[in-house]
Each structure stands twice: as C-alpha cells, then as structure tokens.
Amino acid sequence: MKSVLGDPKAIALLLGPALLVYTLVMLVPIFWSLGLTFFTGNVLQGFEFNGIANFEKLVNDKAVHDAFWFTVNYAIIVTIGQVVFGYGLALLYHFVLRKSSVVVRTLVFFPVVLPTVAISLLYQKLFQSAPNDGLVNELLFNVGVTPIDWLGAGGTAFIVVIIMDIWRSVGFYGVLIFSGLLDIPDDIVESARIDGARSWSLFRYIILPMSLPILFASLIFSINGTIKVFDSVFALTGGGPGSSTTPLTLYMYRTAFQFSDYGYGSTIALLLTIMSLLVTLVIFQQSRRDNTK
C-alpha cells in the first residue's frame, strides 16, 4: 500500500479518471456559468458581451426583488418548521416510543420518497376551491367558515406551499436528528435522572447541548434546500397567482430557458450561489463558537 501511495504514476492512474469526471461535470459548468454573467444571448442566437449590465439589471429588477423576498421568507419559515418539527419527532422516537418507533418512523418518512408531482396534485385537491371544494374547504364549511380560494391569492398560496413542503420533508429531518440523538450516551442521561433532573432540565442542560451538532447539520441541509426550492412550487402553483409564489430558481429557469437569456439567468444563479454560501458560512461560524464555549 505504501509503495502504491508513494508512486505518482499510480496516484494519477487512480485519481485521474475521477478528477476528470468531477472537473467536466462540476467545475467546468460552474466557471462557464460564471463567465456567462458578462454576456447576453443564447446558443442559437449567439452571445454578446455586455460587461456588468446583467448585474445592474439584477439590482434594479423588481421581479428579482419579489422572487428574492419570497425565497427568503420561504426558506426561513420552512427551515424552522422542518428542523423544529423534525426535532420534536426525533425526541418522540428516542425517548417516548423507543423500539416501537420503527412503524411510526416509516409512516412519517413515507412522503419523503413520494414524487413531488404526486404530492402537489394531492395538495391541489385538498385545497381546491373550484369547481368543487376540496377537503379543507369542506371542513371549513362544516364548521361555519366561508371557503377560501387557497391557490387563487398570493398569501394563501404561500401558506399552502409552506404546509406542503414541511409535511413532505419533516420525516427526513426526524430520522436525521434521531440518528444524532442515538449518539448521546445513555449513562449520561441516566446519571442526570438519578441526580434529580426532571424532563425540562434534562432537555435543556443535557439533550439540547449534546444534540447541537446534528441540529446545525440539519439547518445546513434545510436552508440550502429551501433556498434552491423549485420542483414543489413549480408543480403546485407554477409560481402563481401572477408571480406571487415565484422563487429565484423558477425565475432563473424562465429567464434562461423560456426567454433564452442565458447570461441574465446565470447572474440570478450566481445570486443563489452567494446566498447559499453566506448562510452556510454563518451557520458554520455559529457552530464553531458554540463548540469553543
């Protein structure tokens, strides 16, 4: 093994193919997209250099501003919902249900493996208002509340998107955080109980601090996924009504592939990349501070 690792030719032979594939699949598209931010046009019509015009347009584009704030609001609410409810499920699995949690975990995790389109169609039927009311409006009508056109207004459509995406992904975060809770030594928990720690004290001073690493990992997974949300919104509302539920990813897709402006689409993609990097760096920095205390 040492002779192989000490041979530059052997290292190049072993790592070369993987590095070549990684470069072609990952690095080249990244730098290609970055270069396109200084051009306008597409493959068929050709590209024309326009300097920083795309960035100036990005700053002044109201549609980008609306999509940006929708993405930020969506990411914050869904991330909090996914991690908080996922953490609650993990605590339920580990400390209440224990060995009998397998069935519950399987049922709660099931929506994670369902196709996004199928879930979106399900929620369209649940929140349907015309021509026939869906289950939600039927329940509202039965308790004396006027049925709501859930997908016909931006505010209510946003609520439906939030509910759907938390529901379909919370099982994943429940299992993810549950795996982290399993690493907490049982003897520490039992010692705290013997010393008189009640449920809240046990959670606050033992469980929560020792589960912070998996919580930070869950935050990174969640916030990066929610910033890049596309399929669920596209399948459920198509970005409507109007553009009220259009995230940056959907606006980027339409700009690049429907309006054939690859340069401006790449500029929007760069904004998404910067957002993801900044959020990840902030979470990592906070994690390092907590670990050094």
Residues 155-198 pLDDT 10s: 999 999 999 999 999 999 999 999 999 888 888 888 888 877 78
Asked if the model's pLDDT at residue 14 lies above 80, the reply is no
**pLDDT given for residue 274 in this prediction:** 92
Residue type, 94: H
**pLDDT given for residue 23 in this prediction:** 87
**pLDDT given for residue 158 in this prediction:** 96
**pLDDT given for residue 236 in this prediction:** 94
| Inter-residue contact 89 to 179 (CB < 8 Å) | no
Q: Give the best-scoring range by mean pLDDT among 73-77, 200-204, 206-210.
A: 73-77
Domains of the chain, by residue range, sit at 60-292
**pLDDT given for residue 124 in this prediction:** 93
pLDDT grade, residue 150 (50/70/90)? very high
Residues 67-76 pLDDT 10s: 999 999 999 9
Arithmetic mean of pLDDT, 14-26: 84
The three-state DSSP-derived secondary structure of 236-249 is HCCCCCCCCCCCHH
**Measured distance CA(227)–CA(130) in Å, rounded:** 31
pLDDT grade, residue 6 (50/70/90)? low
116 vs 101, which has greater pLDDT?
116
Buried/exposed 213-241: b ≥16 CB within 10 Å, e otherwise: ebbbebbbbbbbbbbbbeebbbbbbebee
Question: What is the token pair recorded at 47?
Answer: 């590209």
Residues 115-145 pLDDT 10s: 999 999 999 999 998 778 899 999 998 998 8
**pLDDT given for residue 67 in this prediction:** 95
Chain-wide mean pLDDT for the chain? 88
| Inter-residue contact 112 to 171 (CB < 8 Å) | yes
pTM of the full predicted structure? Answer: 0.89
**pLDDT given for residue 3 in this prediction:** 59
Share of the chain above pLDDT 70, in %: 96
Asked if the model's pLDDT at residue 11 lies above 90, the reply is no
The CATH class for the domain spanning 60-292 reads: mainly alpha
